[in-house]
Structure formats: structure tokens, C-alpha cells
Amino acid sequence: MLDKETFQKNYKNKNENYVKVESNEDDFLKSGIEINKDKKVKYTNFDGYQSQSAGGAYFFQYASKINDLRGDGIVFYRFDPTIDNKGIYYRLNKDHKVISTGSFKYKKDKKVFELNENNQKFLWKVSTVGLIIDIKSKVYDYKGYRRYQFVTASPDEQHKINSSVKNYEENKYVKVETKQNDINDVSLKSGIEINKKKKVKYTKGGYDLGYFYLKAHKINDLRGDGIVYYKFDHKIDNIGRYYRLNKDHKVVSIGDFEFKNKKRILVLNEDNQQFFWKISIPSQIADIKSKEYDYEGYKRYQFVETTAEEQDKINSSIKNYKDNNQLLVFRCALLLITWHRTETYDLCRTFGNCKK
């Protein structure tokens, strides 16, 4: 929190519409402005992150640049929504380094974002058309809302932000050594002790889980095959079949799954083995529990979405696997029919009632 003297230095005369905040940026973003209530502002209605309202989806797709007067100068906010108007956000400095994270939820009845970070709460009213955010918080030395300008990050900045967020998530975990030496150039962390102080937003179904089913994912599940791919083939009512493929995109095992809505757990059943997955898509982690492991309770596993090329190979391999299985079933049925006819003919010959 800024001390009062430092905070007030960010302001000029109250009669001015905006105050210029000094920064090293080419553009000067104005912050902490007294709001002229005579000038009506149309706040954006975010009805979930798929909102089709003006600028709603766009706001979530791209990071925003702002001076939030929290002592770090110009910062970037990157929102990562999950479902039901909730998610997590990353706050990065001008060098595109993550300096803090928090959770958010959107209260559509009030058109207000509630950001929570280290026991600090910030209320945001966003106008994507006006490129302004009205912010209120007990962290500041003013009461009520003040106005802040923001701009959308450039494509180059966006690339750096996404890369930084990805690295931040990867570095949160400590790599666990396994017997697998070849991990296909991807260092996925597995079997991690879970820090219960760091809250993780698990998926609770709906569109969020549907997207997870749509793509195959790469993970080291510590079952002896190294890096493997999981492809979930959703059928109906939260149930379906999954395929587990090795690094060469060959099917090594299959099983059935069911998503338990109340517990937000994906239950995998395979050859009398059972695995419980709690998935966080924004964090790209799966907390996994099974009697097959030598630990008790849940441990954390990183996963990544497959590339388009990998996805094509996986889909092709699964199709071939299904085709070969169908051919095998047909051959077995044909052999059974042939055997049955042969046995019947032999019996007829024995009792003398047979016609060729």
C-alpha cells in the first residue's frame, strides 16, 4: 500500500479531468481520477467469459496495461477465466514478470469484478468502450471509486506476457526425479506434494470440461511409460472412454471415465485399477490419487495441451486401434461360426442325419 504522501503526488489539481502518471512507457496512462458523475459511462456486461457483449470476450482474451497505483508503476493484468464468471489473474510488471496473482469473480447483478489477492479486495467496474476502470479498495487512501485508464497490450507484449505466465506456473513446482530419462524434450513435473495454502480452482464441468475433452493432453502419470497422452472420448452424461498413448502415439491402454459433479472429480477405471483426478485447466495441473501409487492421498501433476501435429497423430492412432479391434472381433466371430458349423456337421455324420 502506498503511503499518503506518495499517493497524493500522483494527483494534480482536482479541476483537471485526468492526471498524468509518470512512467517509462511511451503512452501516459491516467490513474486515480475523481469521477465526474455528470458524464455517464456504459460499463461492460460480462456474462461469463463467453460474453458476446461489446468488448466482453476481448477483455479476457488480451492482457490490459494500467497504472493501478499500487507502487509498481505500469503493470499488466492477465485474466484467466474458468467458468461461472470466476477465474484467476496474473499481475505483471513492465518487464513482463509476474509480481502477484489472485482470484476474481464477476458479479453480473452489479456489473462489478471482485479481485482478491493476499487478503486484499479490489472492486472493478470496467468500460471496454471507454477504456476505463473505476476501482475501489480499502488498500487506497481514498474512499469510493476513482477512475483509471487502461490500454490493451500489443501483440509483442501479449506474447511476452503469455510466456511469462507459462514459466511462472511451471516454476511453481519442483521437478520430481523418475526412472524415465527420455521425456521427449518436455519437463513435466509429477508427484508433487501439494501446498494447501495455495488455492487452486478445479473445474466443475460444463464448457470448461468440454474443452478439456476436446484436446489430448500430455502428462507423466508415473505409471512406468514416461510421457504419455490422454485422449478423453466423451459420450453422454459425464461418462465416456479414454485412450492412453505413449510418446510414439501408440495406444498402450484404455479405460472408462466418469465425472462426478458434486465432488468435481474425474474417476478413471482401467483393468480393475481406479484413478481419481481433480483438474485445474487454468493452472494446467491434475491432482491424482490411486492405490496404484506408493503415496497416500493426492499429489500434483503438470500437463500440457498437445500440438496440432501431435493431435493428428493421436486421432489417427486411435482410429487405427478401433479399426483393428473391430476387425479382430469380426475374425473371432467368423471363426466361431465356422467352428460351430464344423462341429454340427460332424455330429450329423455320426448319427447319420446329415445332408451336405
CA distance 188 to 284: 11
Residue 206 or residue 184, greater confidence: 206
What is d(CA 281, CA 208) in angstroms, rounded to the nearest whole number? 8
Q: Report the percent of the chain where pLDDT is more than 90.
A: 47
In a domain, 204, yes or no: yes
If one compares 293 and 59, the residue with the highest pLDDT of the two is 293
Higher pLDDT, residue 6 or 116? 116
Go through the chain and tell me how many residues it has: 356
Residue 139's nearest CA partner among 3, 8, 22 is 3
Q: Do 110 and 153 belong to one domain?
A: yes
Residue 31 has pLDDT above 80, yes or no: yes
**Residues 202-211, mean pLDDT to the nearest whole number:** 79
SS3 of residue 146 by DSSP: strand
Would you state the cell numbers that stand for residue 177, as one nine-digit string?
Answer: 526425479
Are 235 and 141 found together in one domain? no
Cα–Cα distance for residue pair 57/30, rounded to 1 Å: 24
Q: Which stretches does DSSP call E strand in 190-226?
A: 217-220
Asked whether the predicted pLDDT for residue 24 surpasses 70, the reply is no
Residues 15 and 111 in one domain: yes
Q: What is the CATH number of the domain that holds 243?
A: 2.40.128
In a domain, 251, yes or no: yes
Same domain, 29 and 97: yes
- Supply the pLDDT for residue 353: 54
The pLDDT of 82-88, averaged and rounded, is 75
| Res 54: pLDDT | 47
* pLDDT band of 302, cuts 50, 70, 90: very high
243 and 145 both lie in a single domain: no
Calculate mean pLDDT across residues 146-168: 93
Report whether pLDDT(15) > 60. no
| pLDDT (0 to 100) of residue 148 | 97
Residue found by looking up cell 460351430 in the block: 340
**pLDDT value at position 17?**
42
Provide the terminal-to-terminal Cα distance of the chain, rounded to the nearest Å: 98
Distance CA 195, CA 98 (A): 19
pLDDT of residue 347: 52
In a domain, 334, yes or no: no
To the nearest whole percent, how much of the chain has pLDDT over 70?
75
Question: Is pLDDT above 60 for 183?
Answer: no
Amino acid letter, residue 249: H
HSE, side-chain direction, 13 A CA sphere, residue 348 = 10
What's residue 47's pLDDT?
63
Better pLDDT: 331 or 128: 128
Q: How far apart are CA 129 and CA 56, in angstroms?
A: 10
Q: What are phi and psi of 307, to 5 degrees?
A: -75, 170
Q: Is residue 130 part of a domain?
A: yes
Query: Is residue 193 located within the same domain as residue 159?
Result: no
Q: What is the pLDDT of residues 310-348, one digit of tens each?
A: 999 999 999 999 888 765 555 666 666 666 656 555 555
DSSP string, 284-344: TEEEEE-TTSSS-S-EEEEEEEPPHHHHHHHHHHHHHHHHHHHHHHHHHHHHHHHHHHHHH
Clarify whether residues 11 and 121 are in a common domain.
Answer: yes
Domain residues for 27? 4-164
- Specify the range with the lowest mean pLDDT, choosing from 6-10, 142-146, 155-159: 6-10
Average pLDDT, integer, range 43-68: 71
Residue ending a domain, among 293, 310, 327, is 310
pLDDT of residue 141: 92
What is the CB neighbour count within 10 angstroms for residue 314?
22
Query: Is 60 within 8 Å of 81 (Cβ atoms)?
Result: yes
Please give the mean pLDDT across all residues of the chain: 80
Give the confidence band of 119 by pLDDT, cuts at 50, 70, 90.
confident
Task: Say how far apart CA 162 and CA 225 lie, in whole Å.
Answer: 30
Our count of domains for the chain comes to 2
Per-residue pLDDT at 179: 41
Give the per-residue pLDDT at 74. Answer: 94
Is there a single domain that holds both residue 59 and residue 114?
yes
- Mean pLDDT across the stretch 12-28? 42
Same domain membership, residue 20 and residue 138 = yes
Encode pLDDT of 272-300 as tens digits: 999 999 999 888 999 999 999 999 999 99
25 lies in a domain? yes
On the question of pLDDT at 21 being above 80, the answer is: no
Q: In terms of domains, do 264 and 124 share one?
A: no
Assess whether 148 and 290 both reside in one domain: no
Read off the pLDDT band of 60 (50, 70, 90): confident
Residue 268 has pLDDT above 50, yes or no: yes
Using CB atoms within 10 Å of the CB of residue 148, give its burial: 0 to 12 exposed, 13 to 18 middle, 19+ buried: buried
Average pLDDT score over residue span 224-241: 88
Give the whole-angstrom CA distance, residue 165 versus residue 206: 25
Handedness of CA 277, 278, 282, 285 (dihedral sign): negative
CA–CA distance, 80 with 282 (Å, rounded to integer): 6
**Cell matching residue 29:** 496512462
